[in-house]
Amino acid sequence: MVRNEVEAVLKLADTLNHRVLYFPAPLGSGTTATRVFGQTSFLEGGRGLSSAALTLPTAVAFDAGDNIYVADTGNSRILAFGPLRDLPAAGAAALASGAAPLGQPDFVTSAGATAHNRLRSPTALAVNWTNGEIWVADTGNHRVLRFPPLGTLAVTGGAAYASGGLFGQVNFTARTPNLGAPAPGQTSPAGLSFPNAVALDGENNLLVGDGNSRVLLFFPQAVSVSAATFLAGAPLAPGMLASLFGTELGEQTGAAGLPLPMWEYDVSRLS
């Protein structure tokens, strides 16, 4: 269930009726849905597999352009609909990320798989309103994936980022629960087991609801380098944290003339 704070509307995943309902403002106990996704009418409730059908949807998200994203769990895919103003009251067809939905090669395949562009029973998702990136709890693969924005997925073939796009596994073909745990039945800081919730905080740090009865917080990618070898042209991206170590570093002086504090510098200030 997602509430759009801008428009004060409600988008609800009605899982067992294989649909998503849209409730407009003003919201109240008597509010009636005005749009249905996944069914051809408000009176239908069967599962399906097409660009306009859903099977056991479990999560809904939206982006700044009011496109609606649905975790179509039973079909192991993410469907995007929108923008809302252009959609009919029922039977809307999903947008194609290239030529297919996110997580599947086409609109008629539902089997889960493990790859950089495949999903297995995803149950949660979040969209970064700043850059449009899509975060998916790929529950059956014990991982979280980060995908490029909807408008660029055709270029990447619907694949997650090769760098910084995978959490919980060592590569895109592994699906080991609790990766790195010291013994069976134990957990680890980097491993996941059936993650079922994802969210981004105000600093775009990632929070993951893990099946190990815990929530994990992943900070932006960090690097650690020696001040003696640090160069201003080093491959650091906005949002990364760089830790420098060395002698004679102060709050106002640093390598390459940068005003670096002694222990870390948020390179988003360099963007």
Tell me the range of 33-37, 66-70, 136-140 where mean pLDDT is highest: 136-140
Q: Which of 111, 146, 119, 110 is nearest to 131 (CA)?
A: 146
pLDDT, tens digit (0-9, with 9 covering 90-100), for 61-83: 999 988 999 999 999 999 999 88
Least confident of 26-30, 42-46, 55-59, 128-132: 26-30
pLDDT, tens digit (0-9, with 9 covering 90-100), for 200-215: 988 888 999 999 999 9
* Cβ 66 vs Cβ 60: under 8 Å: no
Taking 60 as the threshold, does the pLDDT of residue 197 lie above it?
Answer: yes
The type of residue at 163 is S
Q: What are the φ/ψ torsions at residue 125 (nearest 5 degrees)? A: -155, 160
Taking 50 as the threshold, does the pLDDT of residue 267 lie above it?
Answer: no
- In angstroms, how far apart are the furthest CA atoms of the chain? 72
Written as six digits, the tokens of 63 are 């982006």
pTM value is 0.79
In sequence order, which residues have a C-beta less than 8 Å from that of residue 62 and are 6 or more positions away?
2, 4, 11, 68, 69, 127
Taking 80 as the threshold, does the pLDDT of residue 57 lie above it?
Answer: yes
**pLDDT, position 111:** 97
**pLDDT, position 217:** 87
- Of residues 265 and 98, more confidence is placed in 98
Cα dihedral 230, 231, 233, 237 in deg (nearest 10): 20
Average pLDDT of the segment spanning 129-153: 93
**pLDDT, position 3:** 47
d(CA 182, CA 242): 29
Average pLDDT of the segment spanning 8-27: 84
- Of residues 219 and 264, more confidence is placed in 219
**pLDDT, position 229:** 57
Tell me the range of 23-37, 78-92, 93-107, 133-147 where mean pLDDT is highest: 133-147
The answer, yes or no, to whether the previous bond of 220 is cis (omega within 30 of 0) is: no
pLDDT, tens digit (0-9, with 9 covering 90-100), for 83-116: 888 999 999 999 876 567 899 999 999 999 999 9
